[in-house]
Structure 1
């Protein structure tokens, strides 16, 4: 959520060259886990319904692209090393850009530079 506005600007600026998708994975800073102060009140997901409900918080922030939810076994997060967050660009089913692991490696400006070369 911290850099959602930057992500939304990417969607606005590059929707002509890329399709965007957010995969909501396990909550990194759950209220009943390792939480920040002033964070969203989201507990660790115990069921798919919990995860869907938590993802709704993101959907309400209007990310300007579809939001899907990882399975409870975290297959997508594990496959892509996406805990707590990560940016990827895929082209023809192949990873062509793999951003650093979040939160410090989550860099929408790097993705912007990459996508500008694709225009």
Structure 2
């Protein structure tokens, strides 16, 4: 959420060339699990049923994410396949992962994604 403005900027700047997608996965710091102290803005329980995940993803949409948002399964299959928790960036080209970003928030690097896109476009 901290880097949402920059992510949205990438979505807008490259919308003609790139299909962006946000996959909403399980909560990284649920209030009924490993939570970050004093984080009351995003105070969510771990999703138990699909409705919980839908509700949490709705809050992401309310925050203004400009890419389409889809939900991981309740079995967390996308999270497991991509080791995405707590957040991660991937570029997939013709069904092949061509960029695998580091795990966020520390290694979540939108600048690397932007550089990859620019290089791909020949800029």
Asked if these proteins are the same fold (TM beyond 0.5), I'd say yes
Match of 2:86 among 80, 84, 87: 84
Q: Distance in 1 between matches of 2:84 and 2:31?
A: 20
Q: Distance in 2 between matches of 1:117 and 1:14?
A: 13
Alpha-carbon displacement from aligned partner over 1:78-118 (angstroms, at most 9, x marks no partner): 00110111000111111111100111111111101101112
1:43 equivalenced with 2:45 (yes/no): yes
The match for 2:76 is: 74
| Partners of 1:24 and 1:55 within 8 A in 2 | yes
TM-score, normalization: structure 1? Answer: 0.95
User: How much has 1:35 moved relative to structure 2?
Assistant: 2.0
User: How much has 1:29 moved relative to structure 2?
Assistant: 1.1
TM-score, normalization: structure 2? Answer: 0.92
The match for 2:2 is: 2
Backbone CA RMSD of aligned residues: 1.0
4+ residue runs over 3 A deviation: none
* Number of aligned positions between the proteins: 119
Q: Distance in 1 between matches of 2:26 and 2:70?
A: 12
Unaligned stretches of 5+ residues in structure 1: none
1:12 equivalenced with 2:12 (yes/no): yes
